Amino acid sequence: MFPISEVLPPLARIKIIDVGAMAVDDLNDAYARLAKVVACEVIGFEPVAQECEKLNRLAIPGRRYLPYVIGDGTEQTFHECSHAMTSSLFEPNTPLLESFIDLAHYSRVVGKRRVVTRRLDDIPEAAGADVLKIDVQGGELMVLHGAVATLRDVVLVHTEAEFVPLYREQPLFGDIDAFMRSQGFILHKIAGVSGRIFQSPGMTLPANRVANQMLWSDVVYVRDFMSLDKLSDGQLLKLAVVLHENYGSHDLAAFALGALDRRSGSSHQPSYVRRLAAARA
């Protein structure tokens, strides 16, 4: 698809806050497509020290990573697991994890430490964020509770959410969804639903076989599309860019540009729609 910059005025740098920034799958992060074509500033937070150091050693222009544990500002216990990617402020729910093939061993606790979490609202580097990405193994709602002021500038949130308690006493998708709606966001899409095969005596199905039981997914929230008049001109432009470049959500991108046109008298929406039609011809 064509770069949306072809039909829009010059755009300010998009600021991305990445909470739980561990490099998994060769930095194929949730905003990879966007960062390839748009100038972005990334401020990442990764509490596993060696993973944070690894990210900073990459020295990717426009990206900086800090070793903070992001949460609601309270003191918590951080559970370091056998696979760093499953470490969490919540204790792994081992009985539930053991119900599935090839899952529990990824979340074996190998160490615990007391930490004082930091709220995004209290971190100067997080101010002025356009996009918020969260992947913190059950602690997503805690992060959001500490980011109420930050969310006022944000146009899109990409977060992991669980449908079953993989970690003890963790909030689930329904809790996150209720909070996000209370903050003026609406669910846009569910991306990459993941599951596992149940354990049963004699069951030899491979762990990577398609599983019907949904366990977790990435979910994407946008500012309520019925209240786009509350966004600034810059926010509407950035929302359209992120939707086009990162998610292929061309219809909502056009809808956002239409809101901007009605306010400013511009003609971004028809220009964009014509370019879409040409690209699909």
List, for residues 19-35, the tens digit of each pLDDT value. 999 977 655 689 999 99
Helix (H) or strand (E) holding 97: helix 94-97
Between 211 and 14, name the one with better pLDDT: 14
Confidence bin at 103 (pLDDT 50/70/90): confident
Q: What's the pTM value of the predicted model, to 2 decimals?
A: 0.95
pLDDT at 97 over 60: yes
Rounded to an integer, the average pLDDT of 168-195 is 96
Residue 88's SS3 state is strand
The fold of 4-280 is Rossmann fold (3.40.50)
Helices within 183-264 (DSSP H only): 233-242, 250-264
Q: Could you tell me which residues come within 8 angstroms of residue 197 by beta carbon, excluding any fewer than 6 positions away?
A: 100, 101, 203, 205, 206, 207, 209, 211
Confidence bin at 209 (pLDDT 50/70/90): low
Angle, helices 250-264/268-280, rounded to nearest 10 degrees? 150
Domain positions in the chain: 4-280
Residue 207: the pLDDT is 54
Residue 163's SS3 state is coil
Q: Where are the beta strands (DSSP E) in 156-264?
A: 156-162, 185-195, 214-223
Residue 25: the pLDDT is 60
Between 208 and 194, name the one with better pLDDT: 194
